[in-house]
């Protein structure tokens, strides 16, 4: 059986590559425009979520500190009661002592317990002041959380409305972008994507407008303009590195 000859795949011409690149640029620019409508909203939403999480963590920590302080006050009050009970016990013992040495020993114990009471009372006073301060911070933080939650709800609603309006269009454009990328060889596509990433406006392929680069607006020498118009090789701007195309090659994206 005779074998069917397989025709070698022909490489796209420079003109075809330039058309494919510019077509891809048009599609990606439309995607950029859609995303610019969202502006900083996604970041603002994320920042608010992070802030609320931070405030909530602060609230939880304050609540634990208040709980711990309340427990310590309870423990200190019990220590005072225990010390008072010991003092009463020691005072009863003092009435039954047989010599000065025993009396002085018990007196020192009473003195020690009175000192413990003073320390506990001072600590309770400090803890109550700390609790009062923490409660104020707690209430302020609660108000802040509620305000941030309202802001977050409004931002999320705004973002959702924009997404609902543009999501389908963006998905369609992304599909077109992926399809257009398949028409461009890997090396050229990598260069295009690198240029887009470095360019503030996302433009990697621009037309020569009024003898100037359509990206950085620097003058393009006549000889380079002639080379660009012949579509025989890929020419980049000497100043910004963008790929330059002649207006005659520009076609509407299909």
Higher-confidence position of 10 and 81: 81
Half-sphere CA count of 167, side-chain side, radius 13 A = 6
Q: What is d(CA 33, CA 88) in angstroms, rounded to the nearest whole number?
A: 84
Q: What percent of the chain has pLDDT over 90?
A: 59
- For range 123-144, the mean pLDDT: 94
pLDDT at 4 over 60: no
Q: Which pair of tokens denotes residue 105?
A: 């020993």
pLDDT at 98: 86
Residue 243 pairs with which residues in a beta bridge? 205, 236
pLDDT at 11: 62
- For range 155-166, the mean pLDDT: 85
pLDDT at 165 over 80: no
pLDDT at 10: 53
Q: What is d(CA 97, CA 109) in angstroms, rounded to the nearest whole number?
A: 14
pLDDT at 158: 85
pLDDT at 199 over 80: yes
pLDDT at 42: 85
- For range 96-123, the mean pLDDT: 93
pLDDT at 236: 92
pLDDT at 43: 86
Instruction: Label residue 148 by pLDDT band (50, 70, 90).
Output: very high
Residues 11-25 pLDDT 10s: 668 888 898 899 999
Average pLDDT, the chain: 88
pTM assigned to the model: 0.53
Instruction: Label residue 1 by pLDDT band (50, 70, 90).
Output: very low
Half-sphere CA count of 137, side-chain side, radius 13 A = 16
pLDDT at 97: 84
Q: What is residue 213's three-state secondary structure?
A: strand
Higher-confidence position of 166 and 237: 237
pLDDT at 252 over 70: no
- C-beta neighbour count of 48 within 10 angstroms: 19
pLDDT at 249 over 90: no
Instruction: Label residue 41 by pLDDT band (50, 70, 90).
Output: confident
Q: What is d(CA 209, CA 226) in angstroms, rounded to the nearest whole number?
A: 14
pLDDT at 36: 82
């Amino acid at each position: 059986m005779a074998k069917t000859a397989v025709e070698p795949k022909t490489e796209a011409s420079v003109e075809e590559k330039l058309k494919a690149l510019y077509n891809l640029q048009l599609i990606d620019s439309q995607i950029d425009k859609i995303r610019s409508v969202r502006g900083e909203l996604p970041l603002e939403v994320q920042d608010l979520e992070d802030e609320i999480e931070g405030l909530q963590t602060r609230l939880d920590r304050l609540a634990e500190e208040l709980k711990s302080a309340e427990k310590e006050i309870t423990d200190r009050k019990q220590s005072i009661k225990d010390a008072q009970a010991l003092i009463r016990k020691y005072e009863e013992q003092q009435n039954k002592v047989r010599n000065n040495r025993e009396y002085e020993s018990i007196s020192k114990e009473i003195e020690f317990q009175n000192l413990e009471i003073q320390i506990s009372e001072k600590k309770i006073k400090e803890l109550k002041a700390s609790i009062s301060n923490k409660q104020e911070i707690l209430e302020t933080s609660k108000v802040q959380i509620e305000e941030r939650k309202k802001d977050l709800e409004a931002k999320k609603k705004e973002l959702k409305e924009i997404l609902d309006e543009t999501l389908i269009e963006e998905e369609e454009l992304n599909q077109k972008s992926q399809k257009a990328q398949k028409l461009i060889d890997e090396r050229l596509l990598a260069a295009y994507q690198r240029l887009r990433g470095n360019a503030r406006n996302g433009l990697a392929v621009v037309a020569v407008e009024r003898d100037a680069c359509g990206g950085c607006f620097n003058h393009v020498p006549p000889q380079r303009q002639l080379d660009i118009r012949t579509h025989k090789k890929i020419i980049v701007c000497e100043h910004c590195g963008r790929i330059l195309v002649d207006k005659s090659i520009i076609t509407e994206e299909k």
